[in-house]
Structure 1
Amino acid sequence: MLERPDGRRLQLWLAAAGLFLAALDTYAVVTLLPQMLSAVEVPVNRLEAATPILTGFLAGYVVAMPLLGAFSDARGRLPAYAVAVLVFAAGSTLTALAPGLGGLVTGRVLQGLGGGALVPLSLALAADIYPAGRRTLPLGVVAAVQEAGSVVGPVYGAALAAAFGSWRAVFWLNLPLGALVLLGLWAAQRGSHTEQGGPAAAPGASAAPVGAAARAMPRSGQVDWASASLLGLGLALLVFALYPDDPQQRPVNSLAVPLLIAGLLLLAAFGWRQARRLSPLIAPELLRSPAFMGSLGANLIAGAGLMVALVDVPVLARGVFDLDTLHSGLLLVRLLFGLPVGALIGGWLGGRIGRRWTAASGLALAAGAFGLMSGWGVHQLASAAVPATLELFLCGLGFGLVIAPLSAAVLDLAPAGQHGLASSLVVLARTLGMVIGLASLTAFGLSRFQRIIVDRHCDSISSSGGLRAQLNAFEDCVRGALLQEYREVFLVVAGLCLLGALLAVATLGANRPEPLAEPHAAARA
């Protein structure tokens, strides 16, 4: 393969730096949320009031992906990336200035709109620069940069807030950092222009093959805003419907039914428009590809499994292991460390043993880790801290392994002119899986925990040792009920991850059943 101009590779790593900034901001909120709520006069004992802050960001995240992904396919990656950074900066400004909860929610929605687009745009830029069969490692590096933000973000947020004396400083700092990223991208694009002796190719078209495949690029440069909006808004409404606004009371939003109906209607309208357009937003050939659908399905499963780990590990630490908030977070970090490491290894392995076996191995590894975690006892951290740490790390490692091969499977199948939209669909599948996993976990937890409490007769415990002894016996009973619930959840998720591994083996190794309308990069087993 001929080496790509250094300027284009520099653009990719600068784009990854912007992605890291957005990931830092996303996870910094984990530690900043109590301070943010206090500043807008929301009591700490009403943390359910923070739900709009979280769902607003997530909804913006989902809406932005198909919109800016399609925009980047038509107008170029860097213009779309610049728009995303500017929207993210505007959201950061509103969040930093927010006088009340409404301002916080508005700012976080805009941050989600901008930050959410940076993930697929960075993946698409990597796919533009590196050809099929050689892009798995760059995709793994981009994914590792994003996942590293999940590890550093909480500490970054807490450290900056302490250093500057205010949580608002974290969001103000996004402005100069975002400006530096944009300035660097502009300089790199100018350098690429000079190296090539003429106008730089449109970012969306840089890796388009010569000949017939080049015709797969958008001919008119027009964006199908209607289709992208229907898809993004429909999925965002589903996210709102499935995200529990009060997890202690119900597994989904209190307005789940109307939100689901509205979301499904918008998605039906998208399908109707997709079927009647000569140039639909998503190529029909992709939807008929087993590798494409299998990759999205495996991503959905990986997202659901990861969300269970992200939610259950801290709750298990507090409710069963009796750790405080800080040490519960540190326990989760052991899992989070595995994500960027796995993303890097998955990118490297995917180019050597193939996407199918790399993705399947990652999901199988996560399944094995969940299986081992289902055997944890009340005194696990005291009696077997090292094995517990290893199991958490392996769980994160497994979920990291799947990112690059599953992304490459979709991007290698997609036309060169649809890398932006294709990468958006990859990230959307993972995000929707996380939301579905959260809703399912909440529903199961609410019902199963109460049933276990009844079966164990925790509410009728008596003791001859007095009130204190009776209280201790009740706490032990509840702790045992929690542990049993989480053991069952981990076993279910282990089975789900094994199903995802089988799906990867069955679909990612197969060639397309029929050729696409235009020649595309061949999928590697």
Structure 2
Amino acid sequence: MGRHHQPPDPQGCAHRRLRRRRPGRRGAGRHQRVRLRGHYHLAQRRVLYSLALPKSVLLGLAGAGLFVAALDAYVVVTLLPAMAGDVGLTIEHFEQATPIVTGFLAGYVVAMPLLGAYSDVRGRVPVYAVCMGAFALGSVMTATAGLWDFAGLPWLVAGRFVQGLGGGGLVPLSLALAADLYQDRSRTVALGSIAALQEAGSVFGPLYGAGLAAAAAGAGGWRFVFWLNLPLAAVCTAGLVLGARRVKAAEPAPASSIDWPSATLLGAGLGLLVLALYPDDPQHRATNTLFLPAAIAAVVVLGVYGWRQLRRLEPLIPRDLLRSRAFAGATAANVLIGAALIVTLVDVPLLGRLVFNLDELGSGLLLTQFLVGLPVGALAGGLLAGRLGDRATAAAGIVLSAIAFVQMAGWRADELSLHAGPLRQADIALGLCGLGFGLVIAPLTASVLALTRGRFHGLATSLVVLARTMGMLVGLSALTAFGLHRFHQILGTPVLTDPDLRARVKHLEQLVAAAFLQEYREIFLIAAAVCALAAVVIALSLPPRRTSGDI
């Protein structure tokens, strides 16, 4: 049977008390609330694993699958123009390509809060395998978009959404598996490693996509990036299934299933929100014709989802954590940071293609300094937070990013030819922007972890990623709507009087590039304002020094 690993009893020796509902309330006597002194207990069961591989190898396989999925969240950043062109989108209708990015993010957000609890009963490895299967299916749909008449833009967006569902589920599953396999200090290291792999997707995704597509230009180009997901997913899944088999639970399992009503409410609410922000006619208005009713409906549906979670016997987020000002502030700051972060990840490569006339690989390499600054800042943020505190470090980092965005808002069409000594000015601005975002990631995550006990660290890390992804989803939708409307306002109806056709075409290209440049300048200014608002939230909500978790 191999070696057996048995995680410690999550209930331990903690004292608890049972509180029944009052007889006068609906459903009296049907439920019992289990509450530990000082914190809520998420019901978990001891699980016995038969391990054919070392724990580190199993965790590495799970983390590798998560890393591949995280790469795909950002891989389209440099591939977007080519993907949009292959499904028939022209530059006049480029706004329709936005769901290629937001579709994945929406699936990510829907799956992340649901599948972790489901795996508590059904098992980590089986649910992980299903998620990897969904991710592979979505990859096939994405790779085949544009090959047939029926596989147009809706097919591509659907494929990205299915990819997001599978990839989003891998986040809580990988964290939960790490918590199952390790305990005490080793568990914290394992959880940190999984979280680092998730963050690394944003660092390497754009370059991975551009580099691989360029190398495989004769083998499908951007499609090869998604076909490659199939063997990678198969290796990770097969290794986990063969390497770790759950034998039995130490305690009987209650009947459980995915909370389909909550999943439906969350998915519908996000869909309505994206619809409200979708620019159906950017030439005349920045928002959708149905903006007001769709936005109201989104708020109502998401409100019902939140109310349902609060009414559940064991809510996803402990109520004591929800009442924490530091948690609310860190969550709000992560949403704002996600909205600003996606501006750099998506708009800088597009700026390289549309204004600086770079190719697919060149537009990806334009992000290099930003992507180098992120991990350097994350490392420095972890070290500085221990000395200066989470609040000071996070606020300083996001202010640095705001300053970099202000500098980027002054970029010119020949920006890449301007140097400050041996370095290009654009590279300096992007490097500082990435450094600032890196500085803020570690303190915000640590501040949330400091509020919780070790058993909730996986949940807390998932919530940080969830908030940032939510910010990316809303920020990309809103800023794309604004930017495209401004593009059409700036461009207007070009007057081309050149007698030569080639001269007219060149003149039109110059006008379009100038309109795009002005659009992105204004978006960078908005991103700077969002960063400044995040700095205010951090300064007002985070404690100056970290406290031990009691939730």
TM-score range, shorter chain: 0.7 to 0.9
CA deviations on 1:169-205 (whole Å, 9 max, x unpaired) are 4333322211211233345546xx9xxxx98999xxx
Paired residue for 1:339?
Answer: 374
- The reply on whether 1:289 has 2:317 as its aligned counterpart is no
- The reply on whether 1:406 has 2:444 as its aligned counterpart is yes
Moved more, 157-166 or 288-297: 157-166
Amino acid in structure 2 at the alignment position of 1:148: V
Count of equivalent residues: 488
Paired residue for 2:427?
Answer: 389
Paired residue for 1:265?
Answer: 300
- The reply on whether 1:107 has 2:159 as its aligned counterpart is yes
In structure 2, which of residues 210, 226, 233 is the aligned counterpart of residue 171 of structure 1?
226
Q: Distance in 2 between matches of 1:447 and 1:167?
A: 28
Paired residue for 2:139?
Answer: 92
Q: Distance in 2 between matches of 1:434 and 1:349?
A: 26
Paired residue for 1:211?
Answer: none
Relative to structure 1, the CA distance from residue 221 to residue 412 in structure 2 (aligned partners, 3 Å threshold; closer, same or farther) is farther
Amino acid in structure 2 at the alignment position of 1:338: G
Relative to structure 1, the CA distance from residue 60 to residue 289 in structure 2 (aligned partners, 3 Å threshold; closer, same or farther) is same
Paired residue for 1:366?
Answer: 401
Q: Distance in 2 between matches of 1:358 and 1:126?
A: 28
**SS at the partner of 1:521?**
coil
Shift of 1:389: 0.5
Shift of 1:237: 3.3
Q: Which is helix-richer, 1 or 2? A: 1
Paired residue for 2:63?
Answer: 16
Preserved contact between residue 113 and residue 316 of structure 2 (Cα < 8 Å)? no
Moved more, 420-429 or 344-353: 344-353
**SS at the partner of 2:407?**
helix
Preserved contact between residue 415 and residue 425 of structure 2 (Cα < 8 Å)? no
Indicate the percent of aligned positions where both proteins have the same amino acid. 53
| RMSD (Å) for aligned C-alpha atoms | 4.5
Shift of 1:21: 1.4
Shift of 1:269: 2.0
Q: Which has the higher contact order (CA 8 A, sep 6+)?
A: 1
Preserved contact between residue 250 and residue 446 of structure 1 (Cα < 8 Å)? no
Where in structure 2 are there 5+ consecutive unaligned residues?
1-7, 9-50
Shift of 1:471: 10
Paired residue for 2:104?
Answer: 57
Paired residue for 2:72?
Answer: 25
Preserved contact between residue 67 and residue 229 of structure 1 (Cα < 8 Å)? no
Preserved contact between residue 82 and residue 222 of structure 2 (Cα < 8 Å)? yes
**SS at the partner of 2:328?**
helix
Where in structure 1 are there 5+ consecutive unaligned residues?
203-217, 514-519
Amino acid in structure 2 at the alignment position of 1:498: A
Amino acid in structure 2 at the alignment position of 1:394: L
Paired residue for 2:335?
Answer: 300
- The reply on whether 1:119 has 2:171 as its aligned counterpart is yes
Q: Distance in 2 between matches of 1:314 and 1:348?
A: 31
Relative to structure 1, the CA distance from residue 33 to residue 316 in structure 2 (aligned partners, 3 Å threshold; closer, same or farther) is closer
Paired residue for 1:431?
Answer: 469
Relative to structure 1, the CA distance from residue 62 to residue 242 in structure 2 (aligned partners, 3 Å threshold; closer, same or farther) is farther
Moved more, 298-307 or 124-133: 124-133
Paired residue for 1:490?
Answer: 524
Amino acid in structure 1 at the alignment position of 2:236: V
Shift of 1:86: 1.9
CA deviations on 1:286-330 (whole Å, 9 max, x unpaired) are 211112111111111111111222344345445654555654443
Amino acid in structure 2 at the alignment position of 1:118: L
Q: Distance in 2 between matches of 1:14 and 1:352?
A: 35
CA deviations on 1:414-469 (whole Å, 9 max, x unpaired) are 56665555444322321222233234434544566677789xxx989999xx9999
CA deviations on 1:42-69 (whole Å, 9 max, x unpaired) are 3555555545544433322221112213
Relative to structure 1, the CA distance from residue 492 to residue 258 in structure 2 (aligned partners, 3 Å threshold; closer, same or farther) is closer
Q: Distance in 2 between matches of 1:94 and 1:474?
A: 36
Shift of 1:107: 2.6
Relative to structure 1, the CA distance from residue 318 to residue 411 in structure 2 (aligned partners, 3 Å threshold; closer, same or farther) is same
Shift of 1:229: 4.3
Amino acid in structure 1 at the alignment position of 2:273: L
**SS at the partner of 2:316?**
coil
Q: Distance in 1 between matches of 2:503 and 2:85?
A: 37
CA deviations on 1:95-119 (whole Å, 9 max, x unpaired) are 4455412543433221111012223
Paired residue for 1:507?
Answer: 541
Relative to structure 1, the CA distance from residue 377 to residue 108 in structure 2 (aligned partners, 3 Å threshold; closer, same or farther) is closer
**SS at the partner of 1:402?**
helix
- Using structure 2 for the length normalisation, give the TM-score: 0.72
